[in-house]
Structure 1
């Protein structure tokens, strides 16, 4: 691909890549490492937001590499905020009583309730890495605890002590009057109890690199700001991390947008230019409400992958990231089919259009050649008509429709068949609701029966079949032919919508479709339901 084409590509990852390149040019950086960052709160399991942030950032990283022709070395670092104090015990964890004894302790000090790792934080970090590894992401993992304790943050923490008043001038106007009286950007780790303390500083000695404070009992302590003896409040920590790690690009959800100027000001106070930032919209549930981990009202990554390939989830994250989208089970089939359409179109496009194609970004610039000759919506309707509870039933139809196709020769098709069966069993079959045809619909279906019986029983041309379906509908006085197609699905499949009926009949088979219509007209389908 030409870097010139990347200069004009309109896909949002290229737009962000160009903004990042503009920032580097302004700083006079023509080579060297470029750092992309994502953050993770390990108080809970990795979730849809974690996946979305890493996959989208990876897309920008790949677009930047294309744009710059590999002139820069790039790194994606995933930082776990595992030094945060445990403010409450998550409801979904075992050993609740034991964990409650460690409130306010850093997550990497809290014992692992599962008994498999050094601490709760280590356990969640391992889960995060396994999660990211399962998707093949290229990244470097960094623990906030290790960064603070190893000295990686020491220079910036000393600078923060030196610039303490400047940081306070940024933070205090953002707080309420009561909070202003007790606020400090430094959170000392109590030398005796190990608690992360939210207490005001009595003094900050920049020259000595120490802070002095009273704990909850009124006892005074002085500790170094270095070596993991303190951590920063999350807003100053955001900006400090950018400065310490040399972050060049970071994206975050809209819930961070109001604080982004604070992060940037902190970064500048500490002597670093803030990274290029991208704000994405948050996912909503089917009621249009913000998805919350505590409510459990969202669709999880694991749930999505039970019914669709990973690439379809990447596609859903790629599309319009600045637009709020509902995330629930009903969006899955459409996402699969839209992804497959883009993948099928890729090989026939010129290079400029390929850079706009979502499949280029989903597959890091190298999409696979295999596409599915049958879309997911059709697969679902095939599963519905056949009441399929395994892929063997599906392949009885697929093998006739796609010459020479087997699960071995068409693994993607086999994968989609398995997803369709699972989705049908869990969502379609429980909701199937057949109805009897009206007199007009019955007449049209009888006409369609005659037309299908006149066709070759091996007819597989969807357009030929669709023409007959249209003609049967036109033979009656439907005000809108959409009502005719809706009737076919409600009467024959017990659902209100589906793909082109001609395509469905081509895969299901003319003889089988004839039997389906005859059964419906005889009342057999309605009786079963």
Structure 2
């Protein structure tokens, strides 16, 4: 049983009376949302699909925490934006001048990417929620319960408590009405009039009535359980950093129960996703990340979803843009064929079905590895690519070829230039002279094979090529074959590897290959 199905079953069993199941996730728009953040929403998405499979109504919430403070200028944004640190993301200008705010720029960027996956949650923008005064009763309640909240927070820390710290603690951030930053200090709270006096580092000071305030935000570990109660959330995942014994979830769970008198939602911790070849954590601010848009340039939406669906949320994995792309494609293509033939194993079948965006199992699609081996040799000309595929007996729609070719070209040019191969313009005499007498005999035998017409029978041709370097010892035979292929590729392409030999002949042409092998 797939992990999302297990979570859905647990939710249904725990809430048999429920008509609607509210599942939530959320992200702060601190920069471009990367695929580590994407795991937050896709985990929730899979659970909502599992619930819907059981005929349940679902509210799929996605909170943009755009009332959070702007903490750090990310890579790719002008350093002058440091002057906005401390303001809400929703009040920082768009770094690129194309949206109304910093928050909106990164929100719309991610929302556009989600459309490609057909993921359409109900978006909640926290700036709008706070400014609507919807949360003000909860804010007032938290302020009046501030000493109890202080005790809970400190019970999860190793530091010592003090009556002075307890008396001066307020579970809120206040944005200054003058400079709009949170460089403020709560100076006093009037318990009879429910007003709060604050002072700011900019010199501004004011008293605000909690009921009317639009510049007060609950601290994260109080804000989270407050929203669980407000939205009646039954399930929400969280990253590893929130999931430790003293992490945000356990703290917020206690605050939900003891301060807001509500039951916390079921929780699924998820592991971080790494970038292959680096131990650094993915981060929007550092620019050390892949975004969903980055992956969508290389993979179809279904393949990306499958990459997440096949792993338990608690399993860490790395994503690389090197030869891992070929491995991921090969795996997905194998399961796609098995799914079409109804031979795919159980749990993988469920992961595959969760990943379906458009059910195109009956459409023929060229193999990514095949396309990426041909494209550089035909100078990325899709018309020539289709001609080569047709001559090889591979017939696909123009749309199917273009989709795979465009992703392949982007991957090769942007991420894996090792695939940029070209046919040698002249004979590689220097390399030929390094060959042994036996290897030169192989080359001449292969050249003689090119003179014969195999009538497109690739298997017959490969049998004859294997026979060139045959040996009774199977290990020697295998080593010889590998060496022969390497020699052919070096003499024709200048590299140690390349497309399958019959395909190489199709692309280069027999006459050209014989000329390059004429010594």
Distance 1:77 1:465 in 2: 58
1:129-186 alpha-carbon deviations (Å, 9 max, x no partner) = 3333344322111110111122332343344234333322222244575999475421
| Residue equivalent to 2:278 | 288
Q: CA contact under 8 A between 2:39 and 2:308: conserved in structure 1?
A: yes
| Residue equivalent to 1:335 | 328
| Residue equivalent to 1:126 | 108
Q: CA contact under 8 A between 1:80 and 1:143: conserved in structure 2?
A: yes
Distance 1:318 1:455, change over 3 A: farther
Structure 1 residues 139-178: aligned runs within 5 Å: 139-175=121-157, 177=159
Distance 1:476 1:453 in 2: 27
1:379-416 alpha-carbon deviations (Å, 9 max, x no partner) = 222235x2532212211211223465441xxx223321
| Residue equivalent to 2:338 | 345
| Residue equivalent to 2:261 | 271
1:31-65 alpha-carbon deviations (Å, 9 max, x no partner) = 2x212222121221233234333333222211221
Matched, 1:190 2:176: yes
Structure 1 residues 438-517: aligned runs within 5 Å: 438-439=435-436, 441-444=439-442, 446-447=444-445, 456-460=454-458, 462=459, 464-475=460-471, 479=476, 481=478, 484-485=481-482, 488-489=485-486, 491-492=488-489, 493=493, 504-508=500-504, 512=508
User: How far is 1:79 from its partner?
Assistant: 0.9
User: How far is 1:431 from its partner?
Assistant: 6.5
Q: CA contact under 8 A between 1:490 and 1:496: conserved in structure 2?
A: yes
Given candidates 61, 65, 68, the residue that maps to 1:81 is: 65
User: How far is 1:277 from its partner?
Assistant: 2.0
TM norm structure 1: 0.79
Q: CA contact under 8 A between 1:44 and 1:124: conserved in structure 2?
A: yes
Distance 1:516 1:77, change over 3 A: farther
| Residue equivalent to 1:34 | 21
| Residue equivalent to 2:224 | 238
- Partner SS state of residue 457, structure 1: coil
Q: CA contact under 8 A between 1:106 and 1:195: conserved in structure 2?
A: yes
Greater shift in the superposed pair: 247-256 or 192-201: 192-201
User: How far is 1:200 from its partner?
Assistant: 5.7
Distance 1:268 1:226 in 2: 27
Q: CA contact under 8 A between 2:143 and 2:170: conserved in structure 1?
A: no
| Residue equivalent to 1:3 | none
Relative contact order: is structure 1 or structure 2 higher (C-alpha 8 Å, sep ≥ 6)?
Answer: 2
Number of equivalences:
493
Distance 1:515 1:353 in 2: 50
Distance 1:324 1:285 in 2: 11
User: How far is 1:80 from its partner?
Assistant: 0.9
Structure 1 residues 24-423: aligned runs within 5 Å: 25-31=13-19, 33-66=20-53, 68=54, 70=55, 72-94=56-78, 96-97=79-80, 99-175=81-157, 177=159, 181=165, 184-197=170-183, 199=185, 202-203=188-189, 205=191, 209-216=194-201, 221=207, 223-224=209-210, 227-258=213-244, 259=247, 260-269=249-258, 270-289=260-279, 290-320=281-311, 321-330=313-322, 331-349=324-342, 353=346, 356-363=349-356, 367-372=359-364, 374-384=366-376, 386-402=377-393, 404-407=395-398, 411-423=399-411
Q: CA contact under 8 A between 2:442 and 2:484: conserved in structure 1?
A: no
Distance 1:39 1:238, change over 3 A: same
Greater shift in the superposed pair: 339-348 or 448-457: 448-457
Q: CA contact under 8 A between 2:72 and 2:285: conserved in structure 1?
A: no
Q: CA contact under 8 A between 1:152 and 1:244: conserved in structure 2?
A: no
User: How far is 1:227 from its partner?
Assistant: 4.5
User: How far is 1:348 from its partner?
Assistant: 1.7
- Partner SS state of residue 329, structure 1: coil
Runs of 5+ in structure 2 lacking a partner? Answer: 423-427
- Partner SS state of residue 78, structure 1: strand
User: How far is 1:506 from its partner?
Assistant: 4.8
User: How far is 1:246 from its partner?
Assistant: 1.7
Q: CA contact under 8 A between 1:184 and 1:199: conserved in structure 2?
A: no
Greater shift in the superposed pair: 435-444 or 278-287: 435-444
| Residue equivalent to 2:425 | none
Distance 1:158 1:453 in 2: 88
Runs of 5+ in structure 1 lacking a partner? Answer: 1-8, 524-529
| Residue equivalent to 1:526 | none
Q: CA contact under 8 A between 2:382 and 2:405: conserved in structure 1?
A: yes
- Partner SS state of residue 39, structure 1: strand
1:432-465 alpha-carbon deviations (Å, 9 max, x no partner) = 59965743555555555556766623114x5x55
Greater shift in the superposed pair: 110-119 or 143-152: 110-119
